[in-house]
Chains A and B, each alone.
Chain A
Amino acid sequence: MSEPEKATKAIIDDNLERCLAGLTKERIKKSIDKVLKGEAGARLKSYVETCVHCGLCSEACHIYLSRDKDPAVSPAGKVKRTIWEMIRKDGDVSPEFIKEASIIASTECNACKRCVMYCPFGIDVGYLMLTVRRICHLCGMTPMYIQDTAHSHAVTMNQMWVKEDEWIDTLQWQEEEAQAEMPDLRIPLDKEGSEIMYSVIGPEPKFLAHLLYNMAFIFNSIDADWTMPSTPGWDNSDMAMYTCDNEIMGRVKREHFDTAARLKVKRIVMGECGHAFRSVYDMGNRWLSWKMPPIPIVHAIDYYAEIIKAGKLKIKEKYKKKVTLHDPCNVIRGGGLAEKARYVVNFLCEDFVEMIPNREHNYCCNAGGGVINCGPPFKNKRVVENRVKAEQLKATGAEVLISPCHNCHSGLEDINEHYKLGMEIKFISEIIYEVMEKPESE
């Protein structure tokens, strides 16, 4: 048995099993009709009727390549196993089929849209897989861990069940910590009329608090006019977007934009996260009927490039180790920040080597798109189904892997460990913090 087969065998997801037991064919038919005949429109129609089954999308997919070109996981193969079948049978499919469709759409596609660049017609398989997730969501057939995250969004407006007092406490804790290094450092809360509202994702206060420290340090050292909200709305992440619980996604995004509006900030700078960028720049704003975000969104990469260009960010000396850069799909293929990311990394680091392919053609981390959020049951599958990523990383010979995205970061950690690559994985802010001029060095 090959490694991917072993990893996918005996996956048990409690929510999928529970749903399987109670799902009726009526509910399936109703859900499929609601989405395929009701919500979806010209894109679904033209994509389904245009696809000539040529298979040219296949080579784009990291899972297809990692599973030794298994036809079933080529982008079009995944559409065949889900939407084509639902259409062919006019929604008359079994609960087992919906469970399988959920696993395909939620854990075998990251909606990274690399295949869109390979299809001669520009068919967006990422969109089609999210359409499948929407149907599964309406059936209640969503993997347990990501469903829990969506619940957290619905209840707390953040991803990690962080309570309001815990949030404020964490910020004040990091403020105090950082004051040991920079005595007048502040993390200004709810400062109305600031230029910048800085927003992060739930995992930062939960278990990556040092990233808040780093950013506070950067903002303070360049005298930025910034603030963070003390209220819900501080979290820019959105896993409801990936369970395709669009109604919750809309609520979460509205809270985030409303918070920025209440604080009367000029723009929102967001931390190094990819899916959160997608949710505020691409999907959430559209759901709320804004073509572009109502308040300008600046991704951290963009912000770093800006303060470097303005000469505000000063470094003692360049980072010495050999680094390579992972281009996260949502900010590179989704936001065009490839050159800015290189500008920043070249400014900070002495020895930068590109991985191949790179920029918008980079291989996906296989964690994004909500896949890593499907949790432990799917972890082994996720890692072995991205062997090409490990090979791509290894070929760079770099010691340090820079990944300016949370999901990529966590997924790459798992790949690093499984394939024994021995790389150190860092956010850009960690490198900045390491090389920047600090008060004591002045």
Chain B
Amino acid sequence: MHSLYNFVSGPLAWIAFLVFIGGSLYKVYTLITLTYQKESFIFTYMSFKYGLRSIGRWLTPFGTGNMKENPVMTVVTFAFHLCLFITPIFLLAHIILWDESFNISWWSLPEQIADIFTLVVIAGCVYFLYRRLTIPTVKYLTSPSDFGLLAIVAAPFITGFLAYHQVFDYQLMMILHVVSGELMLVAIPFTRLSHMIYSAFTRAYIGSEFGGVRHVKDW
């Protein structure tokens, strides 16, 4: 059990991070080269001003018409995404691992707050699942892979929460936690979780086109 833990938190972690970072860079590289090859006009329309205007607006809670029309979704999705990023990066236990391995550390979240944030992420996944199952339009668009993606995102948070509170077997839970976290990292570049990478580009382009050519807002 112990050597398994060492394996998943050692070599496997290296692989996961390399695949995540390498895969993400590869996705950006292929997107840009594809644009050069086939739609090079996109570069001529790209505008820093309007691209950033669009990204900024869509990162502002209730900044767009659609967010106002769907207040529950807006609150959930902002809380979910914020906690999804903040919790793993500023979790004390994670920082200790960084410190032990690389001798680097940074500010950490108070543990109770991290606990709440974790629950927010899990609750967010439950809400998204509920939406997929109950709202006809979302249900219609849902494919089996959407449930898979939800599971991939929820798993590290559920196992992390259980491990922290020492529910079930601690060591087993830790191994599951590390593996599921690595699975999520690896999945980001190669599944629709890649919206984490692509969304900045798609927003920047449509923001540029709407702002710079169409002279109109894109929200």
Residues of A within 8 A of B (CB): 39-43, 45-47, 49-56, 58-60, 64, 69, 71-72, 74, 76-77, 80, 116-118, 120-124, 282, 286, 289, 291-292, 332-336, 338, 360-361
| Residues on B with beta carbons closer than 8 Å to the beta carbon of A41 | 34-35, 37-39
| Residues on B with beta carbons closer than 8 Å to the beta carbon of A124 | 206
Q: Which residue in chain B gives the minimum CB-CB distance to A289?
A: B41
Output the least CB separation between A93 and chain B (Å). Answer: 17
Taking the complex as formed, is B202 at the interface, i.e. its CB lies under 8 A from any CB of chain A?
yes
Output the least CB separation between B43 and chain A (Å). Answer: 10
How long is the Cα–Cα vector from A147 to B215 in the complex, in angstroms? 32
Q: Which of B35, B139, B140, B215 contacts A336 (CB 8 A)?
A: B215
Q: Are the C-beta atoms of A49 and B137 separated by less than 8 Å?
A: no
Sort chain B's interface into a size bin: 35 or more
- At the interface with chain A, which of B14-22, B62-70, B111-119, B172-180? B62-70
Q: Are the C-beta atoms of B70 and A56 separated by less than 8 Å?
A: yes
| Residues on B with beta carbons closer than 8 Å to the beta carbon of A80 | 140-141
Q: Which residue in chain A gives the minimum CB-CB distance to B203?
A: A122
Q: Which of A76, A77, A122, A282 contacts B218 (CB 8 A)?
A: A122
How long is the Cα–Cα vector from A199 to B215 in the complex, in angstroms? 23
| Residues on B with beta carbons closer than 8 Å to the beta carbon of A122 | 54, 58, 202-203, 205-207, 218
| Residues on B with beta carbons closer than 8 Å to the beta carbon of A46 | 31, 198, 201-202
How long is the Cα–Cα vector from A20 to B135 in the complex, in angstroms? 35
Known: A41-B34, A46-B198, A51-B192. A69 touches B216 (CB 8 A): no
| Residues on B with beta carbons closer than 8 Å to the beta carbon of A121 | 195, 198-199, 202-203
30 A-B contacts (beta carbon < 8 Å): A40-B38, A41-B37, A41-B39, A42-B32, A42-B42, A45-B31, A50-B195, A54-B131, A54-B138, A55-B131, A58-B137, A59-B69, A60-B66, A71-B136, A71-B137, A71-B139, A71-B140, A71-B141, A74-B137, A77-B141, A80-B141, A116-B206, A117-B66, A120-B199, A121-B203, A122-B205, A122-B218, A291-B41, A333-B214, A360-B217
Q: Are the C-beta atoms of B213 and A282 separated by less than 8 Å?
A: yes
Output the least CB separation between B67 and chain A (Å). Answer: 9
| Residues on A with beta carbons closer than 8 Å to the beta carbon of B213 | 282, 292
Known: A41-B38, A71-B136, A117-B219. A291 touches B45 (CB 8 A): yes
Residue among B69, B137, B146, B194 having the largest count of chain A Cβ atoms under 10 Å: B137
How long is the Cα–Cα vector from A228 to B104 in the complex, in angstroms? 73
Q: Which residue in chain A gives the minimum CB-CB distance to B135?
A: A55
Q: Are the C-beta atoms of A361 and B146 separated by less than 8 Å?
A: no
Instruction: Tell me the residues in window 110-159 of chain B with beta carbons closer than 8 Å to chain A beta carbons.
Output: 131, 135-143, 146
How long is the Cα–Cα vector from A289 to B44 in the complex, in angstroms? 11
Q: Are the C-beta atoms of B41 and A49 separated by less than 8 Å?
A: no
Q: Which residue in chain A gives the minimum CB-CB distance to B142?
A: A53
Instruction: Tell me the residues in window 168-203 of chain B with beta carbons closer than 8 Å to chain A beta carbons.
Output: 192, 194-195, 198-199, 201-203
Q: Are the C-beta atoms of B39 and A42 separated by less than 8 Å?
A: yes
Q: Are the C-beta atoms of A123 and B202 separated by less than 8 Å?
A: yes
Residues of B within 8 A of A (CB): 31-32, 34-35, 37-39, 41-42, 44-45, 54, 58, 64-66, 69-70, 73, 131, 135-143, 146, 192, 194-195, 198-199, 201-203, 205-207, 210, 213-219
How long is the Cα–Cα vector from A435 to B195 in the complex, in angstroms? 54
Q: Are the C-beta atoms of A334 and B39 separated by less than 8 Å?
A: no
Q: Are the C-beta atoms of B38 and A120 separated by less than 8 Å?
A: no
Q: Which residue in chain B gives the minimum CB-CB distance to A43?
A: B39
How long is the Cα–Cα vector from A237 to B143 in the complex, in angstroms? 41
Known: A42-B42, A56-B70, A59-B69. A74 touches B218 (CB 8 A): no
How long is the Cα–Cα vector from A395 to B137 in the complex, in angstroms? 27
Q: Are the C-beta atoms of A52 and B195 separated by less than 8 Å?
A: yes
How long is the Cα–Cα vector from A437 to B131 in the complex, in angstroms? 60
Q: Are the C-beta atoms of B58 and A120 separated by less than 8 Å?
A: yes
| Residues on A with beta carbons closer than 8 Å to the beta carbon of B217 | 117, 360
How long is the Cα–Cα vector from A333 to B219 in the complex, in angstroms? 11
Q: Are the C-beta atoms of B41 and A56 separated by less than 8 Å?
A: no
Q: Which of B73, B131, B218 contacts A117 (CB 8 A)?
A: B218
| Residues on B with beta carbons closer than 8 Å to the beta carbon of A39 | 38
How long is the Cα–Cα vector from A377 to B215 in the complex, in angstroms? 36
| Residues on A with beta carbons closer than 8 Å to the beta carbon of B214 | 282, 333-336
Q: Are the C-beta atoms of A53 and B216 separated by less than 8 Å?
A: no
Output the least CB separation between B216 and chain A (Å). Answer: 5
Q: Which residue in chain B gives the minimum CB-CB distance to A287?
A: B41
Output the least CB separation between A334 and chain B (Å). Answer: 5
Q: Which residue in chain A gives the minimum CB-CB distance to B141?
A: A53
Q: Which residue in chain B gives the minimum CB-CB distance to A76?
A: B141
| Residues on B with beta carbons closer than 8 Å to the beta carbon of A49 | 192, 194-195, 198
